[in-house]
Amino acid sequence: MRFGAIIQARLSSQRCPGKVLKTVVEKPLLQYIIERLKQCDDIDSIVIATSTETSDNPIGSFCTNYNIPCMRGSLENVAGRFNDVLKHYPWDAFVRVNGDSPMIDQSLIKKGIDKFREDNFDIVTNVFPRSYPPGQSVEIIRSDTFRKTYPLMNKQEYFEHVTPYFYQNSQKFSIFNFHSEINYGNLHLAIDTPQDFQVFSTIVSKMKAPHWEYHLSDIFEIIKDIKRTDPEDS
């Protein structure tokens, strides 16, 4: 089976504008995500799906500089961007990745892909229900299923958030959800606010090896150490 990864990204975030290209150790957040995805041998190719708005031109430039395919579409219809990508890439399934998840654990993606290969699932995920922290969401969706379902999406939340239609109509689909065996409490690893970005910067500053060598359990330990030594940084 062929698997791709689609990273949805835009610069017009209200709570943390421009976050996907904000740099930590001279490296944009998008680059952290790409480097982690490249550690997953099951992923054949990576595409960034952004908007045609001029505000997202810097994302297009980033993709050119880093030789990453970029497809642009409607700012509001993110699901439409995904559908457009699937018209050009003959993957059997794809991994949906948010541009605010620079610490996404590629081993979780591999776990999801391994499960996807086992049976004729439409979706393998870890958010239905969620037991992993935000920023560690895994959604692997069969391409044919997405293409057939897209015309049925008729609400803004479906267009904006891509996958709610599947979960709200779960009886129509074969969905497998894998759960965390560890309770991560209120751990939050998505970059939604400037404070989240500062926490991410602090985590990276504690890393002694390439960031992709740190899995979720390792990052959890770093955060616990940060809280023990300097509660104000957490």
Its domain, for residue 203, covers 3-233
* Residue closest to 191 by CA, chosen among 72, 24, 76, 66: 24
Q: Dmax of the chain from CA atoms?
A: 52
CA-nearest of 43, 42, 23 to 32 is 23
pLDDT for the residue 56: 97
The answer to whether 52 touches 73, Cβ cutoff 8 Å, is yes
Domain tally, the chain: 1
Would you say 19 and 197 are in contact if contact means Cβ atoms under 8 Å apart? yes
Residue 23 pairs in a beta bridge with 28
Note down pLDDT in tens along the chain; length 234 residues: 999 999 999 999 888 889 999 999 999 999 999 999 999 999 999 999 999 999 999 999 999 999 999 999 999 999 999 999 999 999 999 999 999 999 999 999 999 999 999 999 999 999 999 999 999 999 999 999 999 999 999 999 999 999 999 999 999 999 999 999 999 999 999 999 999 999 999 999 999 999 999 999 999 999 999 988 775 654
pTM score: 0.96
